[in-house]
Amino acid sequence: MTSKKTNKIQISWNDPAFRAIVYQIAVLGIVAYVAWYLVTNTMHNLSVRNITTGFDFLDREAGFAIGESSIAYSPADTYKRAILVGIVNTLQVSALGIVLSTLLGTIIGVARLSMNWLVGRLATVYVEVIRNVPLLIQLFFWYVLITENLPGPRQALRPVEGVFLSNRGLKFPALQGDSLSWILYGLLLAALCTFVFYYRSRRHQEKTGKTFPVLSTGLLMLLVFPFIGYFLGGASLALEYPELRGFNFTGGLSISPELSALLAGLVIYTSAFVAEIVRSGIQSIGSGQWEAASSIGLGKARVLRLVILPQALRVMIPPLTSTYLNLTKNSSLAVAIGYPDIVSVVNTTLNQTGQAIEGVLIIMAAYLTVSLSISVFMNWYNRHIALVER
């Protein structure tokens, strides 16, 4: 018979396990003491200066305007509403930046591997120049380019009918009417149904080998559901064109110079990093995959789309996650060009209320929540596409 060996911790400095426990308790005690000292010292200094603490100020009237808001807001609203506007603006520019930088970066990353000498060199120059110029400098460049070099509203450029480009931003026609919200709900429902249908069809294909026309079905739902929403909303929909009245345009939708500059800077800067991730991901796939796919008659474009990129995603997802997080946090530079993101709104709030600690905590909590949400989604997707060992 074999005796079972038990590892018991001996209360002796010669026992490594005992020493490890002592070291951990000591480090934990030091961290707790430092935290206690910082909190008590901060509370004492606030008390000496008669500065109240807490988040009660959020329910007071803000009293300041916000130049750009995707949701309804007026100076008579509370600080809570103003901060919500800042969060929505940050989410808006981050989401658009992630989507656009991914598309542009993928194109440039593939172009870097092009057999065409000129295309490959131009993509390389783009990546090397953009990555090595600070983002803040690029934001200033785009903001000055838009506000100083574009003409005023009366001399606005008109690239196509109904679209105006001036130093006041980009103005373009917009849909208006009671059916608009129903159409948006239809689009959202169609996108969710397409995702569920794609997921279930993949599961079915893995079990039976049979495929479903996911693309055509998804496109059909994207057409039918908004069409149904149009009639549910009373078939009330019209296209409103921007018009020049006085010194600015009215009607339609507009993208401000601040949002345009911020979005251009974030997308162009981040796409250079995405391009390198895409290039390295493609190069991580062995040349035998190209040769095997080409041997069955697939063209290079289809080989890249159907064979190479799906495999390269397993390499690309982890660094893409970090890149998306960096884009979200880099959006805080919006305060430098006047875009009212969460940092800008909270800065105005704490200047009026003096609640600096609470304001900084709100900013930290907002970015932490968004970053963790992106990380959770990307980690889920990474596990979803990972190879399953049998």
Residue 211 confidence (pLDDT): 72
CA angle 19, 23, 27 (to 5 degrees): 175
Res. 390: pLDDT tops 60: no
Give CA–CA dist 307/295, Å, rounded. Answer: 13
Res. 5: pLDDT tops 60: no
Q: Average pLDDT over the chain, rounded to whole?
A: 86
Query: Average pLDDT for residues 207-230, to the nearest whole number?
Result: 82
Specify the range with the lowest mean pLDDT, choosing from 59-68, 216-225, 245-254. Answer: 245-254
Q: Is 390 helix (H, G, I), strand (E, B) or coil?
A: coil
Query: Average pLDDT for residues 108-112, to the nearest whole number?
Result: 92
* pLDDT tens per residue across span 27-73: 999 999 999 998 888 778 877 777 677 788 888 898 888 888 888 88
Residue 122 confidence (pLDDT): 95
pLDDT band of 387, cuts 50, 70, 90: low
**Whole-Å CA distances, 192 to 185, 187, 211, 215, 231:** 11, 9, 20, 14, 21
Our measurement of the distance from residue 311's CA atom to the centroid of its chain's CA atoms, rounded to an integer in Å, reads 24
List, as one string, the DSSP characters of 124-165.
HHHHHHHHTS-HHHHHHHHHHHHHHHS--GGG-B-SSTT-EE
Rg (CA), the chain: 27
Q: Is 238 helix (H, G, I), strand (E, B) or coil?
A: strand
Query: What angle do the packed helices 179-208 and 214-232 form, to 10 degrees?
Result: 160
Give CA–CA dist 43/53, Å, rounded. Answer: 9
Joined tokens for residue 384: 């979803």
- Residues 345 and 66: beta-carbon distance below 8 Å: yes
- Residues 90 and 341: beta-carbon distance below 8 Å: yes
Taken in order 3, 8, 12, 18, is the CA torsion positive or negative? Answer: positive
Res. 3: pLDDT tops 50: no
- Residues 344 and 336: beta-carbon distance below 8 Å: no
Give CA–CA dist 268/27, Å, rounded. Answer: 44
Taken in order 358, 360, 361, 367, is the CA torsion positive or negative? Answer: positive
Q: Is 265 helix (H, G, I), strand (E, B) or coil?
A: helix
118: Cβ–Cβ under 8 A, 6 or more apart, which residues? none
Number of Cα atoms under 13 Å in the Cβ half of residue 253: 8
Higher pLDDT, 314 or 326: 326
